[in-house]
Amino acid sequence: MPKPTALSGFPELLPAERFVEQQVLATLADTFELHGFANLETRAVEPMDQLLAKGETSKEVYVLKRLQDEGTGDAGMGLHFDLTVPFARFVLENAGKLDFPFRRYQIQKVWRGERPQAGRFREFTQADIDVVGRDTLAFHHDVEVARVMAEALSRLSFLPGFRIQVNNRKLIQGFYAGLGAPDPLTVMQIVDKLDKLPGDKITELLVVDGKLTPEQAELTLALARISSDDTGFVDQVRALGVADPLLEEGLAELAAVIEGCAGITSDRVRVVADLSIARGLDYYTGTVFETRLDGFEGLGSICSGGRYDALASDGRTTYPGVGISFGVSRTLVPLLAAGAVAASRSVPSAVLVALADEESRPRADAIATQLRANGTPTEVAPRPDKFGKQIRYAERRGIPFVLFSTDNDHGDGGAEIKDIRSGDQFPIDPATWTPPAEDLRPTITTMQETPQ
């Protein structure tokens, strides 16, 4: 087989990079579970009709075909392009076996059948949390998912600061209704381009395509420009002089999310009301979320979501939901590539047991077993090379400690440990010794530790 080359859009991590990802996933899972979210994994495939159910023809889907299947034969299945469609299907399929409100988290790969293109992922990992109810779902779950995801991201201490931007579809739609906009959906789609087009171009589009008067267009733009890190946005919106019951409902809900997150914000973690956020064509009906990473704004939103009044429905029963999805690969792959985050070693091993000769391997294995019994990841040298070479073996992998057996001719077992970073060497008892906690597992190092 000639040397294979990487496949564009299918990122793969080397062992030390994968360690960083594992730590991220473990931190996310731990946070979600502390808040009572149960884990689910759904199959990778869904029937094509469900993948395309919401007219998502814009989403590129990979269709499966059995190799042995001659002729027409699609399997009628495609790889899921997000975790929401499979979750909605899972809820309908298993509704009788689930207790509602049902909190779940799901961390899985998703696929997009994109044309190969630089910076465009075709396989990537997402971490989703959702709360779903049967018939009804109280609004306080909107506050809950925002808090849980903000807490999870804030525990990823290697991340730069980030800003969760919250808005509310009721607020926008109520405002447009109060304004008398004839085609609110088109208006929302135009405003959604605010970060791509200049303000006067937006105004023009609002008048021409959005069928607004210039005054209505100005107010629409003024609304989209409001943002605040507290509930100050409420008065700013009222100052625009538009009144509508749905607008009032949206203002109250958005204020509740911002207030509810007040306890977890910091310099690094901000939860702000940003009235430009609309989440495009997605089927949200209330709260909407996006998230920007400081210094990596080019990544777009790394964590998005919102409230669906009908996450799923079988015609008789409707399941409303609210959730957020964190783009793990989208965030981590560029940070790893930029060297902004790395792991301290490429193997789990904290200790290498050195080997004087091949005959002493059983003794080395026995020592390794003692260390592992106390939770210390340990490997035994593959060959009885000169000790200098064995130490370099450890160095290359970032293993901090090398253990030398000091058995004497009388068979008295003994051992010395060498910290190969400092060169210190000292006697230990393998039955009881453990490395310092910070050396037990690989650790994550970040560029931010260097003062900027």
Taking CB under 8 A as the criterion, which residues in 178-237 touch a second copy? none
CA distances from 223 to 203, 211, 216 (A): 13, 17, 11
Closest CA to 178 of 224, 115, 234, 220: 220
Segment 387 to 416, residues that bind a second copy, using CB under 8 A? 393, 396-397
Choice between 222 and 444, CB closer to a second copy? 444
The CA-based diameter of the chain, rounded to the nearest angstrom, is 98
* Given 8, 27, 61, 229, the residue binding a second copy (CB under 8 A): 61
Segment 89 to 118, residues that bind a second copy, using CB under 8 A? 89-90, 92-95, 97-99, 101, 103-104, 109, 111, 113, 115
**Cα gap 303→164, rounded to integer Å:** 8
Minimum Å distance from CB 211 to a second copy? 33
* Given 361, 385, 387, 447, the residue binding a second copy (CB under 8 A): 361
Identify the residue whose tokens are 């049967």. Answer: 134
Give the other-Cβ count within 10 Å of 248's Cβ.
17
Minimum Å distance from CB 14 to a second copy? 6
Segment 13 to 32, residues that bind a second copy, using CB under 8 A? 13-15, 18-19, 21-22
Q: Per CB under 8 A, does 155 bind a second copy? A: no
* Given 64, 194, 340, 428, the residue binding a second copy (CB under 8 A): 64
Q: Per CB under 8 A, does 431 bind a second copy? A: no
Choice between 184 and 398, CB closer to a second copy? 398
Q: Per CB under 8 A, does 160 bind a second copy? A: no
* Given 20, 24, 28, 79, the residue binding a second copy (CB under 8 A): 79
* Given 84, 203, 287, 349, the residue binding a second copy (CB under 8 A): 349
Identify the residue whose tokens are 């469900």. Answer: 50
Tell me the window of 37-45, 195-203, 277-285, 430-438 that interacts with a second copy (CB under 8 A). 37-45
* Given 41, 209, 294, 297, the residue binding a second copy (CB under 8 A): 41
Q: Per CB under 8 A, does 45 bind a second copy? A: yes
User: In the sheet that 102-111 helps form, which strands lie side by side, from edge to edge?
Assistant: 38-39, 102-111, 123-132, 318-327, 303-313, 287-293, 162-168, 269-274, 227-228
Residues 6+ apart with CB under 8 A from 219: 179, 240, 242
Query: Which amino acid appears at position 37 of this protein?
Result: F
Q: Per CB under 8 A, does 309 bind a second copy? A: no
Binding mask 367-386 for a second copy (x = CB under 8 A): --x--x--xxxxx--xx---
**Cα gap 426→337, rounded to integer Å:** 39
Q: Per CB under 8 A, does 283 bind a second copy? A: no
Q: Per CB under 8 A, does 4 bind a second copy? A: yes
Q: Per CB under 8 A, does 348 bind a second copy? A: yes
What DSSP designation does 360 have? G
Q: Give, rounded to a whole angstrom, the gap between the first and last alpha carbons of the chain.
A: 47
Identify the residue whose tokens are 């135009």. Answer: 190
Choice between 191 and 415, CB closer to a second copy? 415
Residues 336/326, Cβ–Cβ less than 8 Å: no
CA angle 25, 27, 29 (to 5 degrees): 65
Q: Per CB under 8 A, does 346 bind a second copy? A: yes
CA distances from 88 to 80, 219, 280, 320 (A): 12, 37, 20, 10
Q: Per CB under 8 A, does 344 bind a second copy? A: no
Residues 41/108, Cβ–Cβ less than 8 Å: yes
Segment 313 to 342, residues that bind a second copy, using CB under 8 A? 313-315
Minimum Å distance from CB 390 to a second copy? 13
Size of the residue set binding a second copy (CB under 8 A): 91
**Cα gap 413→400, rounded to integer Å:** 23
Closest CA to 402 of 373, 383, 426: 426
* Given 66, 201, 389, 421, the residue binding a second copy (CB under 8 A): 66
Tell me the window of 39-47, 175-183, 213-221, 332-340 that interacts with a second copy (CB under 8 A). 39-47
* Given 117, 119, 120, 138, the residue binding a second copy (CB under 8 A): 138
Choice between 92 and 340, CB closer to a second copy? 92
Q: Per CB under 8 A, does 43 bind a second copy? A: yes
Q: Per CB under 8 A, does 284 bind a second copy? A: no
Minimum Å distance from CB 98 to a second copy? 8
**Cα gap 219→215, rounded to integer Å:** 6
Burial of 321 (0-12, 13-18, 19+ CB in 10 A): buried
Name 214's bridge partners. none
* Given 207, 240, 340, 347, the residue binding a second copy (CB under 8 A): 347
Minimum Å distance from CB 336 to a second copy? 13
